[in-house]
Structure 1
């Protein structure tokens, strides 16, 4: 599985956190969620944490699932 890369975050003066991916906004966290994110990102791999919090976490099975026979009829929707 490829390791996530290109994520960064900035703590704003109002306490919110903006997460970017390759320079583009990927999410903004406020309040309790921002505090939980900041605590988690300090203790783990920051790239994996940011990928998970933004929902941009590839598992490596997307192509396999798309090509499965039961999913072929759903293409083009």
Structure 2
């Protein structure tokens, strides 16, 4: 993982997720919902999240699940 997170951004815990009662996974970035995983994608994510050893591993899974959503021109509202 040393080569994946060179700037230690995953330590900030910028991503979070929530499981709904219909087994959908809501992924948020700094509290703003950015993606919804349903069906097989949600099941695959949850299986991988259970195998994760650390919080950083879960952050990496969440970052990969969101894909390339952030282009650099987004501003965080405080």
Instruction: Return the TM-score normalized by structure 2.
Output: 0.65
* Partner residue, 1:64: none
Q: Tell me, yes or no, if the aligned pair for 1:16 and 1:29 is still in contact at 8 Å.
A: yes
Q: Alpha carbon RMSD of aligned pairs, Å?
A: 1.9
Instruction: Return the TM-score normalized by structure 1.
Output: 0.66
1:32-59 alpha-carbon deviations (Å, 9 max, x no partner): 110000011122210000001101599x
Which consecutive unaligned segments of at least 5 residues does structure 1 have? 59-77
Whether 1:54 and 2:66 are equivalent positions in the alignment is: yes
Which consecutive unaligned segments of at least 5 residues does structure 2 have? 1-5, 71-78
Structure 2 SS opposite 1:25: strand
Q: Distance in 2 between matches of 1:51 and 1:57?
A: 9
| Equivalent runs, 1:1-77 vs 2, <5 Å | 1-2=6-7, 3-4=9-10, 5-44=13-52, 45-56=57-68
Deviating beyond 2 angstroms after TM superposition, the runs of 4 or more aligned structure 1 residues are 2-5
Question: Bigger radius of gyration, 1 or 2?
Answer: 1
- The alignment covers a number of residue pairs equal to 58
